[in-house]
Structure 1
């Protein structure tokens, strides 16, 4: 678990579970959290640092999306209000492994809104991509944008997602024009990470569609699971161990959930026309 100062009054916490990220905006003794880490142990650590060690009070927790690996701390801060998009239950129920113990009904439900916290203006934008409740957060006063799980470092994660929505969501985050991007996992990145994620999404889609169009049906799953991250990642980007792990998860998901099967069908129709 680690802590990184993004500004004098903005701290980023990265937990052990899934390298999930939570970010604290500090106004005096009051804290606004964006996301709340991915395990009970990490959530306890977060509370210990903020409340016990720093003597701060978490007043509001804003979620980028309502998946269990980002909301473990909601119940650890009962005094805080929770804010989520109105489609939060859809996302929670659509998970592969929802953790009911982490669920807490939001106090505030939103589509789009702006909020001032201390010296910072936070703009919350409904930005469906990886999930249907995704909210991106633009913080011009800190030159930060929060992507949630619309990116996973320099790649994307495809489980139960529409790649077209993901592509559009990443593009909208880029339109904020911020120099630093906070992901739902791993940490903070320079702005080119958005282009890297789009590059990965385009390349893995091209590879899968090509296999589905050219390989026998019984051979295609094996060929898909053999796609190398080096053939998908952006040039000059060295994939981290976390990105390599989730690339392998992507390959399993693509086979199990028939991701890009529609794209392959549409490509076949265009080719025959």
Structure 2
């Protein structure tokens, strides 16, 4: 697992076991705050050990940015911490969390010890969390997922964007227009760093370019997939839509972005096809 020091009090851990997913540790004199956990216990235990070494006051809060398994499965390793999320995250986990975890354990033995935790403190639009001279502004930022949130560490000028910002936007079971709106929110903040949900930490000079290219990518794939559907072409025609022609590299995340790009195209094809059939 990789560890990156972003500011004096903010550290980011990047998984080497699953898709470079990230977890963030915020250190304060009154306790640590963890934003997202890592899916495999062996890595999240390292995050916990680090936080406790650096923060004698213990771990006060764990913030879950959305309900996806790769961000929440380590939360049971922080039983003393209050769990915070969007209201929809709690509702989704209560509805399907246990069944999804059982399926994951059946497929991945390394998850055998994982237990489902349900957030206790939830919010709808915004939540301000103050701890040890730190102000953390949690804001609803749907698009990647309906329940997605971002965490703005105001004094540090750091945004933990989670999967709102990734090397290629992922909209499967999400909404491209909502994600574009959430991305635009980022440009209004005075930031030094953005922590991506997967991949490395963005520096100040990279933030606007990344946001703009992500919005441009979403426009590009919508336009190209819509053209294919309108022409009555089969799904196989999606292979002609190159990720780099839409402004994103095929290299990050060990090449996983190419698979995510294809998943976006398949999802949009089905969505636009349904729109066309409904309008006919």
Shift of 1:28: 2.8
Q: Distance in 1 between matches of 2:181 and 2:96?
A: 21
**Which of 210, 214, 237 does residue 223 from structure 1 map onto?**
237
Gaps of 5+ in 1: none
**Which of 245, 250, 255 does residue 261 from structure 2 map onto?**
250
Contact 1:254/1:260, CA 8 A, preserved across alignment: no
1:163-182 pair list within 5 angstroms:
163-182=176-195
Contact 2:36/2:63, CA 8 A, preserved across alignment: yes
Shift of 1:89: 3.9
**Which of 123, 130, 151 does residue 137 from structure 1 map onto?**
151
Contact 2:66/2:149, CA 8 A, preserved across alignment: yes
Secondary structure of 1:191's aligned partner: helix
Secondary structure of 1:225's aligned partner: helix
Q: Distance in 2 between matches of 1:251 and 1:9?
A: 38
Residue 191 (structure 1) aligned with residue 191 (structure 2):
no
Residue 209 (structure 1) aligned with residue 226 (structure 2):
yes
Q: Distance in 1 between matches of 2:273 and 2:178?
A: 14
Secondary structure of 2:137's aligned partner: strand
Contact 2:60/2:80, CA 8 A, preserved across alignment: yes
What does residue 251 of structure 2 align with? 240
Shift of 1:239: 4.2
Secondary structure of 1:124's aligned partner: strand
Residue 106 (structure 1) aligned with residue 108 (structure 2):
no
Q: Rate the CA distance shift 1:26–1:259 in 2: closer, same or farther, 3 A.
A: farther
Gaps of 5+ in 2: 103-113
For the aligned residue pairs, the C-alpha RMSD in angstroms reads 2.7
Secondary structure of 1:228's aligned partner: coil
What does residue 40 of structure 1 align with? 41
CA displacement, residues 230-258 of structure 1 (integer Å, 9 cap, x when unaligned)? 11125xxx443327423323323532574
Shift of 1:55: 6.1
Residue 23 (structure 1) aligned with residue 24 (structure 2):
yes
Contact 1:213/1:264, CA 8 A, preserved across alignment: no
Q: How many residues align?
A: 259
Contact 2:32/2:59, CA 8 A, preserved across alignment: yes
Secondary structure of 1:142's aligned partner: coil
Secondary structure of 1:186's aligned partner: coil
TM-score, with structure 1 as normaliser? 0.84
Q: Distance in 2 between matches of 1:50 and 1:79?
A: 13
Q: Distance in 2 between matches of 1:230 and 1:139?
A: 32
What does residue 71 of structure 1 align with? 72
TM-score, with structure 2 as normaliser? 0.82
